[in-house]
Amino acid sequence: MSDVAKPLEIVHDETNQVFRATVDGYDCEVEYRLRGHTMVITHTGVPSPVGGRGIAALLTKRAVETAEAKHWKVEPACSYAETWFRRNPEYGRLLA
């Protein structure tokens, strides 16, 4: 067994407006709704058995970077996304 952590495989399901990753059999996600050219992050979910590993941060970062690439603004409508933006002020330019 390797000591190197496997990179998180994040899938963007644009049809259902969600970023997903499966970690140790648990589904983790960031859900959003597109309102015009604004990605409204509505929910971040990481089950407690895999919590505390930075999974929510990685999912949120991918969502925000996707919004940036599509020239969208971001509205953090869930408490985790709000906290993420406070911890990552370099992305503040994307806030709606």
Is the distance from CB of 72 to CB of 93 less than 8 angstroms?
A: no
* Tens digit of each residue's pLDDT (9 = 90 or more) over 22-57: 999 999 999 999 999 999 999 999 999 999 999 999
Number of CB atoms found within 10 A of residue 36's CB? 9
Domain CATH code at residue 35: 3.40.630.30
Residue 48 amino acid letter: S
Six token digits for residue 90: 């370099």
Count how many domains the chain has.
Answer: 1
The answer as to whether 40 is a domain residue is yes
Number of CB atoms found within 10 A of residue 66's CB? 17
Q: What is the pTM of this model?
A: 0.92
Residue 56 amino acid letter: A
Per the structure, the complete domain to which residue 41 belongs is given by 11-89
The answer as to whether 3 is a domain residue is no
Bridge partners of 88, per DSSP, are none
* Tens digit of each residue's pLDDT (9 = 90 or more) over 51-86: 999 999 999 999 999 999 999 999 999 999 999 999
